[in-house]
Structure 1
Amino acid sequence: MPNTNAVHHENTDLTGSTFDDVNLSHARFNDVRMDQAQFNNVSLRNATLRNVCLSGVRIEDADLSEMTIDGIAVSELFRAYQLLHAR
């Protein structure tokens, strides 16, 4: 049964919008700008980000278990970084 609550926005300016207690599971974002957006208490579990600009992004107090960047486990990257800087 199709989701009758599904919404399609195209060429829409939602600058300054607020989304509280919203389920966006299985949503698709194509050619979307989220400059200076804030994400609090957000689950991106099993999400895939492709061709994404993460310049200046800060990730704080996050569960990064099983997260990979270009197929490399982030936990391994942190471990290697800590070994290099422990010397």
Structure 2
Amino acid sequence: MQIHDVFDVLEATRTTLSGSSFDDVNLSGTRFNNTNLSGASFNQINFAGATFNDSNMSGWFINDVNLSGLRLHNSNLSGAEFAGCRMTGAKIDGIPVQALLDAYNAAKRD
């Protein structure tokens, strides 16, 4: 099925669209409920203002992404790794990450 230059609302229920490709598509305001996006690839995507609730994001690889202003609450970050990330102003449970890193590095030197 191909849809080109269509400006309408699509409702898909109990539908399989696996292997589909979306390019230069405006999905702003779209709701995804009970949706399987495992193995999906997202490139040059604007998720500004998006909300993820009750979602399984285990095994995600996030690279070269702007997460400024991100707020994580009641989330499982077990085994998460942060490398080469700018953490200016970032906090963990209200404690600035830079203060935590400074304290850790000071303890290593002692």
Number of residue-to-residue matches in the alignment = 81
Match of 1:49 in 2: 52
Offset, 1:85: 6.0
Q: TM-score, normalised by structure 2?
A: 0.65
Q: C-alpha separation between the residues in 1 aligned to 2:14 and 2:69?
A: 35
Where relative contact order (Cα < 8 A, 6+ residues apart) is larger, the structure is 1
CA RMSD for the aligned pairs? 2.4
Larger radius of gyration between Structure 1 and Structure 2: 2
Match of 2:18 in 1: 15
* 4+ residue segments displaced more than 3 Å: 84-87
Amino acid at match of 1:79: V
Task: Go from structure 1 to structure 2 and tell me whether the alpha carbon gap of 1:70 and 1:20 turns closer, same or farther (over 3 Å shift).
Answer: same
Match of 1:76 in 2: 91
Structure 1: unaligned runs, 5 residues or longer: none
Task: Go from structure 1 to structure 2 and tell me whether the alpha carbon gap of 1:66 and 1:14 turns closer, same or farther (over 3 Å shift).
Answer: same
Q: TM-score, normalised by structure 1?
A: 0.81
Amino acid at match of 1:20: D
Identity %: 32
